[in-house]
Amino acid sequence: MADFKHVGLIGRPGSERALHTLKRLIRYLHSCGTNVVLEESTATALPGHTMEVCSYEALGKACDLVIVVGGDGSLLGAARSLAKYKVPLLGVNRGRLGFLTDITPNDIENKVGEVLDGKYMMETRFLLDTSVIRKGALIGGGDALNDVVVHPGRFIRMIEFELYIDGQFVYSQRSDGLIVSTPTGSTAYALSGGGPIMHPKLDAIVIVPMNPHTLSSRPIVVDGNSEIRILIGEHNSAYPHVTCDGQNHVVTNPGDEIHIHKKPHKLQLLHPLNHNFYETCRSKLGWGSHLGE
């Protein structure tokens, strides 16, 4: 029996479908005698409730489990805020693909009930820490569960940069940018950029060029403990953006440095017992089923 007495809830803001599922989930959790705690912005969508309301920080400290109702984007945001508190996350999918949020709304009572009974799988996923350095000073940064992307921003033009891994020069490149992805993010933007699918258990980082100005430039998979440094070229006419999980943005200047490495704390992600990474790939990416089916 799992000891999930205090369960935090985070819902996708502005989504009627997520709100409907959230209300159904609350009714079920209350029927199980579970203490339900709402994240602040989620609580505003439920006027008149009598449940405890907490910030992300308080949620991470007070809860034994946090359930996210929404798409992968909702879970990415929760993961970046809560991973350091070591509170496990469980996703209910009300988005589109749903590689991370793998419980369907129709299975809420069954699958959440199994998790509350201790019948679940736990995975750990690492995040990336990003810092933008200008003339020796930190000007911005962020965390990423999926990926860190260097791109030209609103303007479609090539950018110039140099890539270093563990202090060693790798190459200079002119391209539309660079994707630095975790295994979790390998089925997201990096995949559309031609990167490999990596199993979530791998301790590795993939670096994927975006439309490079040479046919010989290919994705590189490196050790997960690698220190990655990207030096923005002095002669760029664009001011490249650094985006973490598509949600946090920093604008760089020519000469800035972007430092990327693994964060020390990991996300604890729960799945139902029947979770299968390859089955998820088959259903989400349209891979072929057994011959004859």
Tell me which residue has tokens 């699918």.
Answer: 197
**Catalytic choice (3, 72, 117, 143):** 72
Nearest alpha-carbon partner for 22 in 69, 63, 64? 69
Give ∠ CA 56-60-62 in degrees, rounded to 5: 115
Judge contact between 266 and 126, C-beta under 8 A: yes
User: Catalytic site residue 72?
Assistant: yes
Sorted by sequence, the CB contacts under 8 Å of residue 33 that are 6+ apart come out as: none
What would you report as the CA-atom Rg of the chain, rounded to the nearest whole angstrom? 20
Exposure string for 113-145, b = 16+ CB within 10 A, e = fewer: ebbbeeebeebebbbbbbbbbeeeeeebbbbbb
Sorted by sequence, the CB contacts under 8 Å of residue 27 that are 6+ apart come out as: none
Query: What is the maximal distance between C-alpha atoms in the chain?
Result: 63
Instruction: Give, for 22, the enclosing helix (H) or strand (E).
Output: helix 16-31
Q: Which token pair is 23?
A: 């209300």
Distance CA 23, CA 36 (A): 12
Distance CA 172, CA 175 (A): 10
State the CB neighbour count (10 A cutoff) for residue 172.
11
Active site residues: 72
